[in-house]
DNA sequence: TATAAAAGTTAGGTATACCTAACAAATACA
DNA sequence: TGTATTTGTTAGGTATACCTAACTTTTATA
């Protein structure tokens, strides 16, 4: 049985590994920053997780999940994303409110609960942010996505996920009436600063920053 | 902000106070037994709760919730019973499975979650065991109930709640096809051992023990 | 390649929530 | 009413998860 905190370390490591699939290992400071603790605290916990064979770790080295650790991490992530979906779809939570509560709900221990919840939600493949929800067997649905910033002038695409899930960005998206499934056409790319002029559904053209375009995943 | 454990002490004290409305105070050993900890541990925590003005307590004395403590306890109980209802009604959990998971879910911190959940469930007044669900303002719906053991020969009644929520009893009830709302007619009372012969809905007459009759609440 | 900066570790300390063992107070009853 | 039993407290100890401060190793760069 893993503690609340141990679970958070595994999930953090899994999330960090997603950020750079080719180099999935993380550093101590990186972990600590992600979890909001001091590096010394992370070192302690990493030793403990190594004892439990959940991570490979050695002094001054990079950290990697073991097969077991990855499996456990995926279970937490599955729960997190199913709960987010529940809050969004059934309880009318907004895009930017679901994360905080799901952070707590993901630690509820009951295999039956997760599976029943998934069934209740009709086996969703993606959460409200467009992130894939791991299946009970650990498989993660693939999604064909590129950053909006990679879309060429004149091309149209459909929003499939958000890369930045901060409340500020999500609230901005809401203001722009952009959500998963929204159609966006790239009208012009300004090479000077990477900003672009886009058309959201059938609205007026508007300009968004490069930062914006690098925070949104779309399907061409 | 209360810790998980502090919340459990408040809920325990509230539950114990319900067991004997006229004498709602509890003892240290009683608390400890209820919570599955040693008396020494309970003493420590009670001092802490006194510091926070959640209980009235003095050395070797009985323990009572303060107005504030009661309020907080009722919030936990509200969450517990709403989650039980959710698990039972929406996720097909059985009568005897809901408690354990609700014990965890009751500690999720989000006022919005509780209220939205209540709305999603259509403002239920009673949980799957027939226990009243406190309202957001702290009011507890009243319920007109007596023990089956108090029902006289020849009288009919309807099951409104279970007093004993142990898995063993709940499973027995399930076997007998007794649930909230089931009609029971008392055919005969055996003075010798307090057992009684009852008719469940339109079934054959059957005998149940005094212990059974003292574990079930009904409405005449 | 020497050294400064960054990254990571160790040692020692805190609070929480638990424990056991020994003790003290309250109560029950002979 | 004295004493045995029950009830409750205290003191001292454990594990978890956090911290700071001092230190070491790695790395980046002048």
Write the pLDDT tens digit of every residue in A90-147. 999 998 899 999 999 999 999 999 999 999 999 999 999 989 999 999 999 988 899 9
Q: Which residues contact B196 (CB under 8 A, 6 or more apart)?
A: B148, B149, B186, B187, B188, B189, B190, B207, B208, B210, B213
Rounded Cα gap, residues B14 and B18, in angstroms: 6
For the CA of B20 and the C1' of D20, the distance in angstroms is 50
**In this predicted structure, what is the pLDDT of residue A22?**
67
**Which chain A residues are Cβ-neighbours of B108 within 8 angstroms?**
101, 104-105
Q: What is the pLDDT at residue B220?
A: 86
pLDDT at A220 over 90: no
Distance from B119 to chain A by nearest Cα, in Å? 8
| pTM for this model (two decimals) | 0.89
Residues 6+ apart with CB under 8 A from B110: A100, A101, A104
Q: Which residues in 16-35 of chain B line strand D, with CB less than 7 A from it?
A: 27-30
Position A130 scores a pLDDT of 87
Percent share of chain A, pLDDT over 90: 84
Q: Which residues pair with A126 in a beta bridge?
A: A132
Mean local confidence (pLDDT), A164-176: 91
Q: How far apart are CA B65 and CA B50, in angstroms?
A: 9
pLDDT value of position B19 = 83
* Residue B22, SS3 per DSSP: coil
Per-block mean pLDDT, blocks of 10 residues, chain B (220 long): 95 90 82 95 95 92 93 97 97 93 97 97 94 95 92 92 90 92 93 92 92 92
Nearest nucleotide (C1') to alpha carbon of A41: D18
How distant is C1' of D23 from CA of A24, in Å?
29
What pLDDT was estimated at residue B22?
Answer: 67
The pLDDT score that the predictor gives to residue B23 is: 72
């Amino acid at each position: 049985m893993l503690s609340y905190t141990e679970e958070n370390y595994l999930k953090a490591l899994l999330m960090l590994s997603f950020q750079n699939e080719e180099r999935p290992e993380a550093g101590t400071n990186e972990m600590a920053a992600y979890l909001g603790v001091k590096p010394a605290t992370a070192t302690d916990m990493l030793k403990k997780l190594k004892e439990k064979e959940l991570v490979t770790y050695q002094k001054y080295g990079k950290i990697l999940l073991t097969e077991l650790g990855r499996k456990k991490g995926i279970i937490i992530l599955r729960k997190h994303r199913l709960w987010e979906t529940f809050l969004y779809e059934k309880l009318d939570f907004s895009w930017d409110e679901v994360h905080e509560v799901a952070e707590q709900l993901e630690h509820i221990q009951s295999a039956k609960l997760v599976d029943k919840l998934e069934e209740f939600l009709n086996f969703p493949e993606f959460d409200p942010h467009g992130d894939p929800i791991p299946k009970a067997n650990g498989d993660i649905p693939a999604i064909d996505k590129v950053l909006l910033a990679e879309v060429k002038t004149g091309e149209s695409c459909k929003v499939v996920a958000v890369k930045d899930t901060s409340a500020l960005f999500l609230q901005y998206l809401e203001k722009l009436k952009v959500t998963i499934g929204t159609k966006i056409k790239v009208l012009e790319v300004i090479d000077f600063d990477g900003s672009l002029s886009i058309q959201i559904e059938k609205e007026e053209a508007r300009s968004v920053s490069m930062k914006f375009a690098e925070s949104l995943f779309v399907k061409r």
